[in-house]
């Protein structure tokens, strides 16, 4: 077995062993459910058979959910010294980072899978644009991947989980709010570039059912860049 899967498997097992997974899943579902069905501009208020309400709340819940997953990933290993154990085994830094990344992504996918009943309920209420829903889910997964990579980077530059958590949220706020906000306010190429880097713009078009390769490539490149920088940050431990 590729050591990458060994690492991913252990991380997943440790999520479920330590109750972290259950607590986070419950919180995720409570928040998403609340705002999708009961509160604010929920489905009944909008009166359309679509999951727009869910998608627009899900990204904000993920803003907190994902840092809570990623914060301990590397910071805890550094604090406990177990990073020495991992780095001296027959695992490359890349396999290590990718394994941890996959474990987080899988947990996010599990969380999203629990929201499929929303989809089923809505589709019973009215005529749903099925393409848009799947597209939205794909968008959520891609955005989560990018955000997980950012969270791992945050976790790799400190040995304090709280710092890693806050740092990841700060970077999340930059990508979800600030870039778009500043980008819209600035004229010309600079404004456009900043708006382009915003998560919500790319996710928004996917949630409406438009798959543009540009959006996919954007999220994939942020993911790759985040993972690469995490790898660099880990390799600096060796210096």
Partner 1 sequence: MNIKIQNLTKRYGVQKAVDDISFEVKTGEILGFLGPNGAGKTTTMKLITNFLEVQEGDISIDGKSIKNHAETLKRHIGYLPEHNPLYIDMGVLDYLGFCAALQQVPKQAIPERIREMVRLCGLDREKHKRISELSKGYRQRVGLAQAMIHDPKILILDEPTTGLDPNQIVEIRELIRQLGQQKTVILSTHILPEVEATCDRILIINRGKIVADGTSATLRKQAQGKEVLRVRIEDGDSETVFSALQNIYTTELVDILDKGNHLFEVQSVTDMSSKREVFQLCAKNNWVLTEMTPLETKLEDIFRDLTLN
Site residues for partner 1 per CB under 8 A: 1, 3, 6-7, 10, 13-14, 17-18, 80-82, 84-92, 238-239
For partner 1, the closer of residues 34 and 91 by Cβ is 91
Question: At its nearest, how many Å lie between partner 1 and the CB of residue 88?
Answer: 4
Question: At its nearest, how many Å lie between partner 1 and the CB of residue 236?
Answer: 10
Question: At its nearest, how many Å lie between partner 1 and the CB of residue 18?
Answer: 6
Question: At its nearest, how many Å lie between partner 1 and the CB of residue 15?
Answer: 11
For partner 1, the closer of residues 82 and 184 by Cβ is 82
For partner 1, the closer of residues 7 and 97 by Cβ is 7
Burial 70-103 (b: 16+ CB within 10 A, else e): bbbbbbbbbeeeebeebbeeebebebbbbbbbbb
Question: At its nearest, how many Å lie between partner 1 and the CB of residue 75?
Answer: 14
For partner 1, the closer of residues 14 and 160 by Cβ is 14
Question: At its nearest, how many Å lie between partner 1 and the CB of residue 116?
Answer: 31
Q: Output the 3-class SS for 165-229.
A: HHHHHHHHHHHHHHHHHHHHHCCHHHHHHHHHCCHHHHHHHHHCCCCCHHHHHHHHHHHHHHHHH
For partner 1, the closer of residues 92 and 221 by Cβ is 92
Q: What tokens does 111 get?
A: 């969380």
For partner 1, the closer of residues 85 and 173 by Cβ is 85
Q: Nearest-CA neighbor of 149 among 176, 132, 171?
A: 171
- Phi, psi for 43 (deg, rounded to 5): -60, -40
Q: What angle do CA 225, 231, 233 make, to 5 degrees?
A: 100
CB 95 within 8 A of CB 227: no
């Amino acid at each position: 077995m590729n050591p990458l899967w060994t690492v991913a498997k252990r991380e997943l097992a440790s999520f479920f062993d330590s109750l972290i997974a259950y607590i986070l899943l419950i919180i995720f579902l409570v928040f998403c459910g609340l705002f999708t069905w009961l509160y604010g501009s929920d489905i009944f208020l909008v009166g359309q058979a679509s999951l727009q309400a869910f998608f627009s709340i899900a990204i904000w819940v993920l803003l907190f959910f994902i840092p809570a997953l990623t914060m301990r990933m590397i910071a805890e290993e550094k604090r406990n010294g177990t990073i020495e154990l991992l780095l001296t085994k027959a695992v490359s830094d890349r396999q290590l980072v990718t394994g941890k990344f996959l474990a987080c992504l899988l947990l996010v996918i599990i969380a999203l899978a629990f929201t499929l009943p929303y989809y089923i309920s809505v589709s019973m209420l009215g005529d749903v644009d099925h393409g848009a829903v799947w597209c939205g889910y794909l968008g959520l997964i891609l955005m989560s991947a990018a955000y997980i990579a950012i969270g791992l980077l945050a976790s790799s530059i400190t040995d304090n989980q709280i710092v890693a958590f806050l740092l990841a949220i700060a970077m999340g706020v930059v990508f979800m709010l600030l870039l778009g906000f500043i980008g819209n306010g600035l004229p010309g190429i600079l404004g456009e570039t900043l708006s382009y880097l915003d998560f919500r713009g790319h996710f928004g078009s996917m949630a409406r059912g438009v798959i543009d390769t540009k959006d996919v490539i954007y999220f994939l490149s942020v993911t790759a860049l985040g993972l690469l920088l995490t790898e660099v940050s880990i390799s600096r431990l060796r210096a």
